[in-house]
Structure 1
Amino acid sequence: MNVQRYLAQFQEPAGYLDFGRFGPISAVAAEALGDAVGLMAGHGWDALEALDAATVRAARSAGRLLGAREEEVAFVGSTSHGMFAAAFALVGPQGGGARRGSVLVGRRDFPAAVYPWLRAEEHGGLTVRLLDGPATVDAVRERLDPDVRAVCVCAVDGVTGFRAPLAELKELIGPDRVLVVDAVQALGAVPVEAEAADVLACGGQKWLRAGWGAALLLVRERVRERLRPGLGGWAGVVDPLGGFDHPRPSLPGARAHTLTNPDGPAVAALGAGLRLVQEVGVERINALIEEVLGELGETARALGLRWDRGRIGDGPGSGFARIAMPGVDPAALHVALGDVGLTTTLRGEWIRLSPHASSTTRSPDAAARLRAAVLAIGQRSTRTPLRTG
């Protein structure tokens, strides 16, 4: 698929720079969702066969994108669900011994990557050891000891834009520890070193442009023996309706960690989003995002704004940047950006910008709007003293 056909898939409002919160869905995802809903309206149980086929197709698409086998992929309701499945899969002592072990988790990571481990700890799960600052190799190495059984990271930090060095982290922790990855702020926007992830979860509502209701859950075969189906329900066992003698053995692969059947229409939309990324290529998507952020960054610096990408080392940048205006209340800057039609996110002392590839055509004047917002604040400051300190 060429870039022009890809960009024609999207119709978000002009000035929308908030894909880190929600990515308005693509035309193919909307079509898949509508077709699945129509199927359920016009058919009976036979609709399930078509929805099951769509789920299999989505699993194959996810496997191609992640470099995984079909059986290593399952679908759950959200990224949070996937992270809870990972945390509860590591409840209990390792290898029949008495040692519970611990997990390293970022203190300031998105809550969906933190609270599953805290709740699992309350039920006999791994002891949570919180990391301060980004999950660099040095930061993890400093805390690594024989008690650590798992490391959990966000592939991209949704506040700072920091990209976790997944391959280097997996090499550091080795094959006997589990690397768990929340990929929702990365997959579809930036190349992800997915082969390094032992467990990975990602919903479709952000950069995959597929909406809510479904998330892929990757569980590598190489860690199967170290995980238990802590949240596995009836959909995760062999032939659950074949008789009344329970418990039944768990299914092989990622499906062992599923509670129930996934939302068929949501999975169909997610599968469409995954295929769209594959057809155009994530490297081309990331290059377009970088083009937008490059223009915004040049404008921001020329206006005297603070500009931060959260980048450490080389490689593609994430889909995020942050701006702040010295001497100006961030909330006031956020309002001013909204007044000129820019949709952004206020996070503490910073304004987060998260454009997508489609921003090149849907919001080509984003930098000009940024300039207009800053100049408007400057004009008001001649009448109202700016906040200092």
Structure 2
Amino acid sequence: MTRHDPEGLADVIRQFDEDDGYLDFASLGPPGRAVLDERRELSEVVGRARFGAIDPLYAATDRLESAVADATGFSRGNVVFQPSTSSGMMHTMFGLTGQVAVSRGEYPSTTTAAARASESLAAMTPLWFDPAHGRVTPGALRDVLTPDCRAVVVSVVDYRTGYLADLEGIRQIVGDRLLIVDAVQGFGVVDAPWTVADIVVSGGQKWLRAGWGTGFMALSDRAAETLVPVFSGFDAAHASSLEPDAVADAPPAPRRGAGAFMTGMPDPLAAAALATSLELTARAGVAAINSAVAERVSQLIDAADEVGLEVVSPRATTERAGIVVLAPPEHRLTALTAALFNHGVTATARGGTVRLSAHASTSAVTLDLVRDALGDYAATPE
């Protein structure tokens, strides 16, 4: 991670203008002014198509790869743009061979990619397992891994439970198997040891606040050599700089390394937006962002405790990131969601729980709105 100045976090927070009451960053992180300005200015360039102005746009991909390399610790040559976490996970699952350990509780983009790869190519076989409380821990993996298992998939932060995975502990259990990490629910707010993984995929629309259509895939040297680039398009070949007619009769082989995992040319506007977001994050410092998020999460947990509302997400700071999951009695779920709605609090309700997710920019007013909403909920007759 690049160095940051002491005032970086405050300056970065001032970039954001989300309305008070917004607590759904685990679904979408509203972009800040710098990202919106970047997209707007580059859209103007594309719209006018002035002489000589289009070609420089393609440098945005180089800028993105450098920003991801700085943020993850992976080499720039092992980083490639992806339009989403799902896209990176499809590349990954279809490129694996052998048995792959996958929790059934992983986000559907992972479980679906695993199922599709197994059904279509039969080169990989999912080793499905159901960890206790939905938490993929080193102990849970120790109980399910087999000698035939070649890879393990885990989310750095579980989207339902808010659990922050122990990547270093998991790495020890995984041994020489490939470790694949879905980073989208933690990247930008969790100071994780990314390089213990072999493959890291993430979208930029959540905690990085770069907007939809942004993401990346980072690979270790070993993963870059062993993962098969099944979906590797013309732009992922060394010959992509040639005229299409020159290779039409002899489709080029994929290049080596991360660059093979492209199906088409990266969107330069999306690449620039994600690069801008990563540069802002680097300026603030992930550790500083994480500390601010932790403070707000603690306040949300305290507010729930004050009214006796069960918190089923982790309480320990070492096991959580920005997600708080509330579990009211089944017959009280509607009362809770109505109270939040009436106070203008944006959250996600699913499976009998309510998920609140706070960022460093979450305001004191937002936290007060939650307290007021929970107070009304507690005062509602059962």
**TM-score in same-fold range (> 0.5):** yes
Q: Which moved more, 1:32-41 or 1:242-251?
A: 242-251
SS of match in other structure, 1:181:
strand
1:77 pairs with one of 83, 86, 100: 83
Question: Is 1:259 the counterpart of 2:257 in the alignment?
Answer: no
Structure 2 counterpart of 1:286: 290
Question: Distance between the aligned counterparts of 1:272 and 1:352, measured in 2?
Answer: 28
Residues 161-200 of structure 1 mapped to structure 2, 5 A cutoff: 161-175=162-176, 177-200=177-200
- Residues 316-356 of structure 1 show CA distances to partners (whole Å, capped at 9, x for unaligned) of 63111111334643233112101011111102121111010
Q: Do the aligned residues in 1 keep the contact of 2:229 with 2:261 (CA within 8 Å)?
A: yes
RMSD value over aligned CA atoms?
A: 1.8
Contact 2:157 2:163 in 1 (8 A): yes
Tell me how far 1:221 sits from its aligned partner: 1.4
**Quick one: distance in 2 between partners of 1:302 and 1:380?**
15
- 2:199–2:219 Cα contact (<8 Å) kept: yes
Deviation, structure 1 residue 189 = 1.3
Match of 2:342 among 339, 342, 359: 339
Equivalent of residue 252 in structure 2, options 242, 248, 252: 248
| Alignment match, 2:38 | 32
**C-alpha distance after superposition, 1:67-115 (max 9, x if no partner):** 0111111112111000000011115xxxxxxxxx211111011101211
CA distance in structure 1 between the aligned counterparts of 2:258 and 2:225, rounded to whole angstroms: 12
Q: Tell me which residue corresponds to 2:144.
A: 143
Q: Which residue of 1 aligns with 2:308?
A: 304
Could you tell me whether the CA contact under 8 Å between 2:312 and 2:326 is conserved in 1? yes
Aligned ranges 1:215-254 → 2 under 5 Å: 215-240=215-240, 241-242=242-243, 243-244=246-247, 245-254=249-258
Specify the alignment match of 2:23 in structure 1. 17
1:118 matched to 2:124: no
1:46 Cα shift?
4.1
In structure 2, relative to structure 1, the CA distance for the partners of 1:341 and 1:322 (3 Å cut) is same
Question: What per-residue deviation string (whole Å, max 9, x for no partner) do you get for residues 170-210 of structure 1?
Answer: 222223x2111110001011112211121111111000011
Q: Distance in 2 between matches of 1:68 and 1:378?
A: 48
Q: Distance in 2 between matches of 1:314 and 1:117?
A: 31
| 4+ aligned runs moved over 6 Å, structure 1 | none
One-letter amino acid matched to 1:267: A
Cα deviations across residues 31-80 of structure 1 (Å, max 9, x unaligned)? 11112211111226844422221110111010010001111111121110
Match of 1:130 in 2: 128
2:366 and 2:115 map into 1 onto residues whose CA distance is: 40
Gaps of 5+ in 1: 92-100
Identity score, percent:
34
Distance 1:147 1:334, change over 3 A: same
Contact 2:102 2:154 in 1 (8 A): yes
Alpha-carbon separation, structure 2, partners of 1:30 and 1:253: 32
1:110–1:331 distance in 2 versus 1, CA, 3 Å = farther
Q: Which position in structure 2 is the counterpart of 1:352?
A: 355
**Counterpart Cα distance in 2 of 1:178 and 1:207:** 26
Query: What is the Cα deviation at residue 379 of structure 1?
Result: 4.0
Cα distance in 1, alignment partners of residues 230 and 334 from structure 2: 43
Deviation at 1:262, TM superposition (A): 1.2
| Residue 327 of structure 2: aligned partner | 324
User: What TM-score, normalized to structure 1?
Assistant: 0.90
Q: Confirm or deny that 1:108 pairs with 2:105.
A: yes
- Give the direction of change, closer, same or farther, for the CA distance of 1:171–1:201 in structure 2 (3 Å limit): same
Q: Tell me how many residue pairs correspond in the alignment.
A: 368
User: Which secondary structure does the structure 2 equivalent of 1:273 belong to?
Assistant: helix
CA distance in 2, matches of 1:11, 1:49: 32
Instruction: Report SS of the residue matched to 2:318.
Output: coil
Question: Which letter does structure 2 place at the counterpart of 1:121?
Answer: S
Q: Residues 230-255 of structure 1, C-alpha deviation per residue, up to 9 Å, x if partnerless? A: 11111111113352242323222211
In structure 2, the CA distance between the partners of 1:119 and 1:12, relative to structure 1 (3 Å rule), is: same
Q: Distance in 2 between matches of 1:330 and 1:303?
A: 14
Q: 1:64 aligns with which of 59, 64, 70?
A: 70
Could you tell which deviates more after superposition, 21-30 or 130-139?
Answer: 130-139
Q: Quick check: 1:107–1:131 contact (8 Å CA) kept in 2?
A: yes
Q: Are 1:88 and 2:94 an aligned pair?
A: yes
Instruction: Give 1:94's aligned residue.
Output: none
Q: Give 1:90's aligned amino acid.
A: L
Which residue of structure 2 lines up, in the alignment, with residue 203 of structure 1?
Answer: 203
Choose which of 57, 60, 66 in structure 2 pairs with 1:51. 57
Note the residue ranges of structure 2 that are not aligned, 5 or more in a row: none
Conservation of the 8 A alpha-carbon contact between 2:225 and 2:257: no
Shift of 1:372: 2.2
Quote the offset at 1:141 in angstroms: 1.3
Partner Cα separation in structure 1 for residue 220 and residue 378 of structure 2: 54
